[in-house]
Amino acid sequence: MAKNKKFVIGVDLGGTSIKVGVVSKEGKLIKKGFVDTLAHQGPKVVVSQIKKGIRLVLGDYEKEIGGIGIGAPGVVSMENGTVENPPNLPGWKKVYLSKVIEDEFCLKTVVENDANSAAVGEMVFGAGKNFTDFIMVTLGTGVGGGIIVNRKLYHGMQGAAGELGHTTIDFNGNKCNCGSYGCVETYVGNGYLVERVHKQLEGGQTTKINDLLDNNLNNLTPKIINDAALLGDEFAKSVIAETGKYLAYALASSINLLDIHNVIIGGGVAGFGAPLFESVRKTVKERVLSPLAPKVKVVPAKLKNEAGIKGASSLVFYSEK
Amino acid sequence: MAKNKKFVIGVDLGGTSIKVGVVSKEGKLIKKGFVDTLAHQGPKVVVSQIKKGIRLVLGDYEKEIGGIGIGAPGVVSMENGTVENPPNLPGWKKVYLSKVIEDEFCLKTVVENDANSAAVGEMVFGAGKNFTDFIMVTLGTGVGGGIIVNRKLYHGMQGAAGELGHTTIDFNGNKCNCGSYGCVETYVGNGYLVERVHKQLEGGQTTKINDLLDNNLNNLTPKIINDAALLGDEFAKSVIAETGKYLAYALASSINLLDIHNVIIGGGVAGFGAPLFESVRKTVKERVLSPLAPKVKVVPAKLKNEAGIKGASSLVFYSEK
């Protein structure tokens, strides 16, 4: 990226929509836009939607843009810019995304897995600015992860490292979408979490959550659980504390294995806020090897809204170093 | 290490004895010896025992020795050669072991944690020669581990990485010596394994193991379980298969997190041989994320006898690269 360029374009490629933005060196989102992914129409259409999205924000800033960063689902090779078998994007197999976009816009283009891109975003712009090493966890439908070692993204052998969500915390646990059993994702992933609470409500659990559901259990979301907790509801609070514990079991194993004691947690469920973080911290400290315990830091992600766009843009700033 | 030197001294520092040997570039043990550690007499005495051990084997080879490698328990900083709080070596706190030995013998000295040293040994001389990346597991009283990334030892933030034994496989499991619960070490560590089988025998389990115990349950060892399995005993075979499964639960989590699909297993319990390895392979493949499953390789360590000395010596050959 030419040193005199001030901005980067970040592209957050999702299954439903593509979010695009112009981001400054300081991590400020200057302009944003979005287009539909049109995933069901296959990779050619999705790629042309990505181009369309980029053009939406490129306009006024064209001469100031130093590169394009793309956060994509699935296994991504940062080295050759390919995206393989992304979940929710049917028919992809392997697409040389960085080359296609680079050729179109004559701008250096960096592609990375979205969980890894979130980790780089926190390192460059967010809560990881002062950490040499950290584990990034994103709590959403799935539980994603990224590992930063010595200010570099750790990729693993195929660029698929960081799958913390598929850490088994109970080998006899519930079946996970991945085919294994008792993965931490089956305890703290959005869908599983809601389903578990759903069952408890059906079982007659007394809680203020019931008052917030408009008589329809299908309205249950992590946000409603949080709202009930904020109203002082004990059951909702216990759900949040329990979620923190489950996550901590997986984190303690990862911290022991990696000898990385800094953890950044982002994503929707991280919105449970301080009570979640207190529970995670307490349980991680109880569970990790004793020399590590006093060093453990578990902090919330700083990039909240538009973390996807900012994370993607950070890939360009990061790759310059 | 001067290029014209043929040999290295490897030192395997244990709680009871210090094993020392002269090892060739090809990993052949040319001469060996051992001295008592005298751990209870404190660090000064232990250090002088290490020197004594080195002198035992140095004699004829003095002019051909290019360096000294030491595998030590506890947290070891390879960078500054210190050994901190090694278990079984009382009163150590922090000892600058590499400097002391280097000053005594005027030979480059490299110190590393014993589990990491085993991993480097397999990389340089053993089953890891052709792997770019692998996870090394040593099954003993504890379950140790080392991680090789791109032909380099992965140290983590404090040099304590690779603690695979303290991966939780059941958060409600038995209490571990480390203070946590359900660590894989509490399923496959020597003591825990023997204790579990012990209880089953006391409970009246019919098995040929009983015939091999000389009417004394305290004679039970992993070797006796293996002997019974080799005699076709179904219960003993099931213990071995189960041990493989437990280990695989932890390995699958680590493989997913690290995106490293090669595993080398050494140590006493690895002596269960093919039935153990088949069980580990099968369960790991069932449990890891599907893109990783076809790539998984789980192989036995090649350095068996004197793995400690050879691993320690490999540190010098490795640090030359």
Per-residue confidence in pLDDT tens, chain A, 321 aa: 556 679 999 999 998 999 999 999 999 999 999 999 999 999 999 999 999 999 999 988 888 999 999 999 887 877 788 888 787 788 888 899 999 999 999 999 999 999 999 999 999 999 999 999 999 999 988 899 999 999 999 999 988 899 999 999 999 999 998 999 999 999 999 999 999 999 999 999 999 999 999 889 999 999 999 999 999 999 999 999 999 999 999 999 999 999 999 999 999 888 899 999 999 999 999 999 988 999 999 999 999 878 999 999 999 998 765
Closest C-alpha to A261, from A230, A240, A287, A231:
A287
- CATH number of the domain that residue B205 is part of: 3.30.420.40
Residues B86 and B144 occupy one common structural domain: no
> B275 in a domain, yes or no?
yes
**In this structure, are A201 and A224 located in the same domain?**
yes
From chain B residues 230-249, the ones with a CB under 8 A of any chain A CB are 245-246, 249
Q: Is A174 among the domain residues?
A: yes
Q: Which of residues 146-165 of A touch B (CB under 8 A)?
A: 147, 149, 154-164
pLDDT of residue B3: 61
Distance separating alpha carbons of residues B6 and B148, to the nearest angstrom: 25
* Same domain flag for B150 and B103: no
State the residue range of the domain holding A200. 130-300
Whether A119 and A150 share a structural domain: no
Contact A85/B at CB under 8 A: yes
**Together in a domain, A159 and A216:** yes
* Interface touch B164/A257, C-beta < 8 Å: yes
Do B86 and B161 lie in one domain? The reply is no
| Chunked mean pLDDT (size 10), chain B, 321 residues | 79 94 95 95 95 93 93 82 82 90 95 94 97 96 94 93 96 94 96 94 94 92 96 97 98 98 94 96 96 96 92 89 54
Partner residues linked to A149 by β-bridges: A152
Answer yes or no: is B1 within a domain.
Answer: no
- Give chain A positions within 8 Å (CB) of B295: 158
Chain B contact for A294, CB < 8 A?
no
Judged on CB neighbours under 10 Å (0-12, 13-18, 19+), B298 is buried
Same domain, A310 and A285: no
**Chain A: residue whose CA lies nearest to B154:** A258
Best interface-test mutation with A: which of B132, B151, B188, B253 has the largest number of A CBs within 10 A?
B253
* Residue A1 belongs to some domain of the structure: no
Beta-carbon separation of B167 and A253 below 8 A: yes
**Residue A55 to chain B, least CA–CA distance (Å):** 35
Decide if A2 is inside a domain.
Answer: no
Instruction: For residues A95 and A153, state if they share a domain.
Output: no
Contacts of A174 in chain B (CB under 8 A): none
* Residue in B129, B54, B85 with CA at minimum distance from that of residue B312: B54
Residue B180 has which token pair?
Answer: 């946590």
Considering the domain architecture, whether residues A276 and A142 belong to the same structural domain is answered as: yes
- Distance between CA atoms of B266 and B255, rounded to whole angstroms? 17
If residue B19 lies in a helix (H) or strand (E), which one and from where to where? Answer: strand B17-24
Q: Cβ contact (<8 Å) for B259 and A159? A: yes
Q: Is residue A67 part of a domain?
A: yes
Same structural domain, A160 and A207: yes
Q: Tell whether B144 is within 8 A of chain A (Cβ).
A: no
Verify whether the Cβ–Cβ distance B156 to A258 is below 8 Å.
yes
Number of cross-chain residue pairs from A and B with Cβ atoms under 8 Å apart: 141
Tens digits of residue pLDDT in B260-296: 999 999 998 888 999 999 999 999 999 999 889 999 9
Residues contacting residue B320 through CB under 8 Å, at least 6 positions apart: B1
Asked if residue A188 and residue A102 are part of one domain, the reply reads no
- The total of structural domains in chain B comes to 2
Burial B147-156 (b: 16+ CB within 10 A, else e): bbbeeebbbb
Domain membership flag for residue B40: yes
Bridge partner residues of A135 (DSSP)? A147, A263
Looking at the fold, whether A52 and A88 belong to one and the same domain comes out as yes
Q: Is residue B48 part of a domain?
A: yes
What is the sign of the dihedral through the CA atoms of A93, A14, A153 and B290?
negative
Nearest to residue A87, comparing CAs of B312, B118, B291?
B291
Of B171, B252, B254, the CB nearest to A170: B171
Q: What pLDDT does A59 receive?
A: 85
